[in-house]
Structure 1
């Protein structure tokens, strides 16, 4: 019996089969309609349906990170399961492993049980937070060159910082099990960062409030975490900086005629002739990113800059460690793992290492690590887990669900 592995993030969904090294398909976790039309597009159909994404009206199954609209989610899953993707023709012949955010309300969890077992009819199912699968991969596959550039031995005590689309969670694990009472949540994720960049660019340059995908692309290709925020900010201050300083980048917007895909260019490398060409009336429009490049990811460290009354990610890690037993507190800072899409920001690992060093005792070792593909880390862990002998011990079968109901599922699925 083959097992389908789904990393069901709020921003994107990754699907594949247990035992494979990488997901077969990744698609946006949303549905969309073209304006003035009734046809519903799902998953990767929203990517290629129209060139101008502003013509699409999106609807996401998740709200504040939690899955609340299974009607939309099933449209995305059906797209993932069709013959052109995973080709899951009869779910009754397969088991399912998929991720969910931690501490979901009971009503949402029970709805998920009903959809998986009653509507789709999978033979068995297990679901857990992505961080639990990342830890499993650390225990069984941390020496793989596909996971890390430098092979590292697994450790019993670990902090996992899952930086996702809707929020960031800090988990503490000991011997593969989460200390759930020590979990800390920060309400900053990729969606908030994109929305903040949209507002800044719309106020300063062009109105891009309807261009979520385009601004996300600009953020992912230009933004970085500053090692010295004040220094970089001074380097971009008005007349004190050159007209085309080393930090400035331009994101060229597609006009869907000559430019079909947005791209980044460095104004400091322009020749005078190129600069005149870019300033011509018929030249494609571009967004000029200066302090925005590092001010947007800075919200991960200083959410109070936009009025979020929470500690930054470094302080959240310290708060989570302080909730752990005393014998673990000196060793946890020495094994901090960054996962999720926001962990791809350049400079994040080095900045977090420096900030943690100033917050923990001098005798504690501080080591922050990032996998080669942090956004795939949870799915890879799920692939290892679903292909191993432990999966059957944790999964709930359809017969067990029919006999013992939601309470049995709640007991199994809360054990991570």
Structure 2
């Protein structure tokens, strides 16, 4: 069967879909589309990119097809190949369901995704010129003719955070580790803090998520920042607290009339009293939330999930656990090539904090390098797009004809054999 030269690359994330076409050597810019169905307070429905037309995100309700990074709800090109990202160690029943939808519902000509013994979503990050991230990143992404020899990928996204060591583009499954802390949990935690300290925002997850992305950061001195933002004992107001200590920020909430997005401003100690005077005069005032230790205690869950009672190690310890499952000879290469992707990588201070904590936990003779690509959200998609131009992509893919003749189980087995043959 002759397959067209068009390949649709789809990175189906929990928060956004990154999608774009690869036409031979030409790689389109990916579209980043909200991966959800939303309903506003007027009961109007928005599907995916329709969300851009929503003018009031107050009390918007969301339904998402992805849970814990796996597709669980499929309510979402005859001559087109599909490359679909998938998290590592997926459940076979979800993989079979995915195969069925791709071929029987959407009718793609051929299909490649991460199966049990083949590259997962994290593996696509190996199909870059990885060393440019650690030195002088180019303005245009370089296409790697072969996957990076050794790479440690930290994918911290909406649903979870995974640590995946890669050897020649293939995940070492016994060493993959997962942390059930992602952007969704961080947003929920910030929602809870604001609802307790300010006013109820439990129905405004979209607004809180924007607040998190705009105002939160990873602290390099958590205890010191916590001390600076401490109010003091009852009846006491510490000077650092009153002045904001360089930590406090005012977040102006959107009113969806004059402002469609919230705005972060420098802390103004007089703003709260001014707002009270205006309210007393029955005049409308801006809705302001003063963020103090919320700014850094929320991202801190990535490094210390026990702060909210989760019985799991932090990200740096997770990397060390992954290394413990591998031969010591691989440690130097993996530690020198740690690439962080996903939306949470955009927190200020994240890379510096992770590198410092990993350095404290590994042997002194190991060089540790942690880097983030210029666009960590689409980096995995671009790696998959580079794979679409790989010389053996047709051998790696399973065609619709093969699926119809032999079934999904044969397709997965065939893909494994092809990958082993190709790498050998």
One fold, TM greater than 0.5? yes
Task: Specify the SS of the correspondent of 1:408.
Answer: helix
* Matches of 1:215 and 1:27, distance apart in 2: 19
Shift of 1:330: 3.4
Task: Specify the SS of the correspondent of 1:264.
Answer: strand
Matches within 5 A, 1:6-405: 6-18=10-22, 19=25, 23-35=29-41, 37=43, 40-49=45-54, 51-71=55-75, 74=76, 91-128=77-114, 129-138=120-129, 145-146=138-139, 156-238=149-231, 239-240=237-238, 241-245=240-244, 246-268=246-268, 276=274, 280-281=278-279, 282-405=284-407
* Matches of 2:58 and 2:86, distance apart in 1: 29
* Matches of 1:117 and 1:253, distance apart in 2: 45
In the superposition, relative to structure 1, how do residues 21 and 399 fare at CA in structure 2: closer, same or farther (>3 Å)?
Answer: closer
Q: Which residue of 2 aligns with 1:87?
A: none
In the superposition, relative to structure 1, how do residues 258 and 35 fare at CA in structure 2: closer, same or farther (>3 Å)?
Answer: closer
* Matches of 1:108 and 1:127, distance apart in 2: 13
CA deviation map 1:2-41 (0-9, x unaligned) = 111111001110111125556442111011234564x642
* Matches of 2:205 and 2:308, distance apart in 1: 19
* Matches of 2:392 and 2:289, distance apart in 1: 50
Task: Specify the SS of the correspondent of 1:100.
Answer: coil
- Which segments of 5 or more consecutive residues in structure 2 lack a partner in the other structure? 115-119, 232-236
CA deviation map 1:200-224 (0-9, x unaligned) = 0001001111111111110001111
Shift of 1:56: 3.3
* Matches of 1:279 and 1:404, distance apart in 2: 74
CA deviation map 1:337-372 (0-9, x unaligned) = 101111111101111111111100111111111111
* Matches of 1:345 and 1:22, distance apart in 2: 27
- Which segments of 5 or more consecutive residues in structure 1 lack a partner in the other structure? 75-90
- TM norm structure 1: 0.87
Task: Specify the SS of the correspondent of 1:172.
Answer: strand
Count of residues in Structure 1 that have an aligned counterpart in Structure 2: 391
* Matches of 2:176 and 2:259, distance apart in 1: 45
Matched, 1:4 2:3: no
* Matches of 2:131 and 2:266, distance apart in 1: 42
Shift of 1:155: 5.3
Shift of 1:46: 2.4
Shift of 1:329: 2.2
- TM norm structure 2: 0.86
CA deviation map 1:255-287 (0-9, x unaligned) = 12232221111125x8x7998479633221021
* Contact 1:395–1:412 under 8 Å retained in 2: no
* Contact 1:251–1:264 under 8 Å retained in 2: yes
Shift of 1:101: 1.7
In the superposition, relative to structure 1, how do residues 119 and 164 fare at CA in structure 2: closer, same or farther (>3 Å)?
Answer: same
* Matches of 2:365 and 2:194, distance apart in 1: 44
